[in-house]
Chains A and B, each alone.
Chain A
Amino acid sequence: MTQKVLLKLSHISKRYKTETALKDISMALHEGEILGFLGPSGAGKTTAIKIITGQLRQTTGEAKLLDTDSANIDASIYEKIGVVADNSGIYEKIPVWQNLSIFAKIWNVPKERITEVLQQVGLYEYRKKYAGKLSKGQMQRLVLARAVLHKPRILFLDEPTSGLDPATAVSIHRMLLDLKKDGMSIFLTTHNMEEAEKLCDNVALLFHGEIVEYGPPQEICLKYNRNKQYSVRLENQEQITFAQTSENITKIAELMQENRIQSIHSCEPTLEDVFLQVTGTSLQS
């Protein structure tokens, strides 16, 4: 069954006076899908989110969000989508619960939902604590809790785990996968390729405002797996990498027959390697 398209970008470009932020971007986000925009800082990821969510106007092209042209988006669209910007703030001088109860009032969400979301992000026990006293990771979870409070159909996340410790990042990943399971579509920007590989159904590699590669992470990686190699660890702890030649295949078969292999892995490139191959630049730059 074909999934419903919730977001469609057709030939979107954004030009500023002296630079071009986005060039001819086309892609679609389906229901229940996580789509990642992967690229280094300044690649145009945040600009893309701002255009889609109506915070910025594109120079050319068409963006359709939930069947509404982004040029005609008004405030009511935010009742159906959730936005977490790279620097989304919280009201630090009020408690965690009140931070959500005010937004619950805006979205007409029952109070029970606040409890549910706070439990989901692991902040229920901190509900009476002033938001400014939370750790950075807890603040980010509160921002996420606020964004999903009204059960949006699409969640836009701009670098949701940037600057967070690995444990918090993992808990956020878990949360995003749970949300996906509940049918929410997620548009995610990141420069963390592991995050993209782990979470995304499709990724768009963005470089200087252009999509240089698009598709499921694994397919992209396999597409660029041109020099097939296998990493073998022998019983004597020796680590050998074999290129895929008929001679090496025989060698590996022999080692297996002699039961000398402790572990064997194929060495397909990561998204980071693909990005480097395609653009000549690292994602972390």
Chain B
Amino acid sequence: MNNRNKLTAVLQLKWLCISTNKAIMIGPFLTIGMVILFRLIYGSNTNGTLPPVLTALLLNLGLSMNLCSDGFSMVGTSIAEEKEKHTLRALMTSSVTGVQYFIGSIFFPFLFTVAVNFAIIFVCDAPVELLLTPAFLLISMVAALISCIIGMIIGICAKDQMNANLIAYPLMMVFMLIPILGDLSTLMNKISAFLFTGVVTKMANSCATGTPYSVTALDLSVLFGELIISILIFLLLYKRNGYEKD
């Protein structure tokens, strides 16, 4: 009972931290807004209907941006803010456990990331019947989870919000740009196949061009492999210093 109370309290606190931080909250709206804007611009030349290749491009852009900038920063920045304002130590010396804080920190960002992934499909006017499948749901959720755990890693390493952004940028370059640029370069395309965001964009590309997506062994290995790696890195860092280094 008390553990449930503690988790509820952490969830409540994290929601307050996230919802009152404009820098964090603007992320999902910016992603959706950017996709809408691009769609309007592209659509103005094609009477509002986008050719599949442009729909694929928009989907890639929206999903990658959501998974990276929103997933990473929502978790990472909120932990960094707690360090900056010296509330993290207060919380961790109040009998909240590491696991409770972990769940509390990723719960809302995870929901947001998955929800925005779905919103992007509708905003892009992508073929919903091809995308809204159990495979998409699974891939989308696992990718959002990886993204949130990477956010936790960023949060553990960062001293403050600015530092969190600095740590997040190189990771965003890798996980966001490589899949987006995959269509322009063979090398990028090859690397992209080994990134969790690459699996998501591959699925999006396939569906946008009207081909039903089937999950491959490589895709599953990449997704679950990176999920395990990110958890291991997180645990290693947590074991060394907890959430905050002394």
Contacts and interface: CB of A to CB of B under 8 A. Distances in A.
Interface of A: 50, 53, 55-56, 74-79, 83, 85, 87-94, 98, 102-103, 105-108, 143, 146
Interface string B75-102: 0000000000111011011111110000
Given A85-B89, A93-B16, A105 B8 contact: yes
A78 B9 contact: no
A20 to B, nearest CB: 16
Given A89-B85, A105-B8, A146-B90, A75 B13 contact: no
B5 interface: yes
Nearest to A47: B246
A56 B246 contact: yes
A89 B95 contact: no
B94 A103 contact: yes
A55 B86 contact: no
B20 interface: yes
B5 A91 contact: no
Contacts of A107: 94-95
Given A78-B93, A90-B87, 18 more contacts: A50-B246, A56-B246, A75-B92, A75-B97, A83-B93, A85-B86, A88-B86, A89-B90, A91-B85, A91-B87, A93-B16, A93-B20, A98-B16, A102-B12, A105-B6, A105-B9, A107-B94, A107-B95
B5 A108 contact: yes
**Most central of A77, A92, A103 by chain B CB within 10 Å:** A103
A78 B85 CA distance: 21
B2 interface: yes
A277 to B, nearest CB: 33
Contacts of A85: 86, 89-90, 93
Interface in B7-34: 8-10, 12-13, 16-17, 20
A102 B87 contact: no
A94 B10 CA distance: 14
B185 to A, nearest CB: 44
A225 B10 CA distance: 54
A78 B95 contact: yes
11 contacts: A55-B93, A75-B96, A78-B93, A78-B95, A83-B93, A85-B86, A85-B93, A88-B89, A91-B87, A93-B20, A105-B5
A55 B16 contact: no
Contacts of B5: 105-106, 108
A187 B134 CA distance: 57
A93 B86 CA distance: 14
B219 to A, nearest CB: 39
Interface in B88-137: 89-90, 92-98
B87 to A, nearest CB: 4
A88 B90 contact: yes
A76 B9 CA distance: 16
Interface in B190-213: none
A102 B92 CA distance: 13
B86 A102 contact: no
Nearest to B16: A94
B113 to A, nearest CB: 23
A198 B97 CA distance: 37
A56 B64 CA distance: 40
Contacts of A83: 90, 93
Contacts of A55: 89, 93, 246
Contacts of B87: 89-91
**Most central of A85, A92, A93 by chain B CB within 10 Å:** A93
Given A88-B86, A89-B86, A91-B87, A102 B93 contact: no
